[in-house]
């Protein structure tokens, strides 16, 4: 297995480099990005919490009580989503004429991953029999028998997708990859 060692070492170095870029981007955030992250995180917390009745309210009901892991998943996904929204804030110091408004493929992929993570979190922490899609597809007993056991996996997927989207966006703020076609266009 000695032939695999260089590949694993290069992956490890790439992972460490990516993590260093991510942490560097977080340290470079201004008060503006922090404010947007907190505000967006609170908004996501309220929307998901109220709609899934993790925050008790008279507007919505829940037939099946929340389980212990709903709360950490809800709060962690909300925090990651708020931070992800903050990565779309344009730095105040940059000239708007020099900024590209179009997202590249990596940016679009990160956007889709973040949206998918938010939807998965919604389904993961929600009441299994209150979910209209699960109820229509599986019925009441099917939602309890089939959908409820899948919810922890949806929760893990939600956190992984949102976290990966955030990591890609943060890494892109420090080191933006340039495709060969764009490099030729710049010359």
Asked if residue 182 is part of any domain, the answer here is no
Tell whether 75 is covered by a domain. Answer: yes
If one counts the domains in the chain, the total is 1
How sure is the predictor about 176, in pLDDT bands with cuts at 50, 70 and 90? low
Residue 17 maps to a domain: no
Asked if residue 181 belongs to a domain, the reply is no
Q: 127-173 pLDDT, tens per residue?
A: 999 888 888 999 999 999 999 999 999 999 999 999 999 998 998 88
Of 181 and 110, which is predicted with more confidence?
110
Residue 108 domain-assigned? yes
- Roughly what angle, to the nearest 10 degrees, separates helices 5-27 and 148-174? 80
Q: What is the pTM for the complete model shown?
A: 0.80
Which residue segment(s) compose the domain that 51 sits in?
24-90+103-176
* Residue 14 within a domain: no
Q: For residue 85, is it within any domain?
A: yes
pLDDT at 182 over 80: no
Identify whether 98 is part of a domain: no
């Amino acid at each position: 297995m000695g032939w695999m060692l260089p590949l694993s070492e290069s992956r490890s170095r790439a992972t460490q480099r990516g993590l260093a870029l991510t942490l560097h981007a977080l340290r470079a955030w201004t008060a503006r990005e922090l404010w947007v992250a907190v505000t967006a995180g609170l908004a996501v917390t309220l929307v998901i919490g109220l709609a899934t009745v993790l925050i008790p309210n008279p507007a919505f009901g829940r037939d099946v009580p929340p389980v212990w892991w709903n709360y950490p998943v809800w709060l962690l996904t909300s925090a990651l989503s708020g931070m992800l929204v903050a990565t779309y804030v344009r730095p105040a110091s940059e000239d708007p004429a020099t900024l590209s408004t179009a997202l590249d493929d990596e940016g679009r992929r990160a956007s889709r991953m973040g949206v998918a993570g938010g939807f998965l979190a919604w389904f993961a922490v929600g009441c299994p029999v209150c979910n209209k899609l699960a109820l229509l597809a599986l019925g009441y007993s099917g939602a309890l028998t089939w959908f409820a056991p899948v919810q922890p996996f949806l929760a893990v997927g939600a956190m992984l997708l949102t976290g990966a989207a955030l990591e890609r966006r943060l890494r892109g703020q420090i080191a933006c990859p340039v495709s060969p076609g764009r490099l030729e266009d710049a010359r």
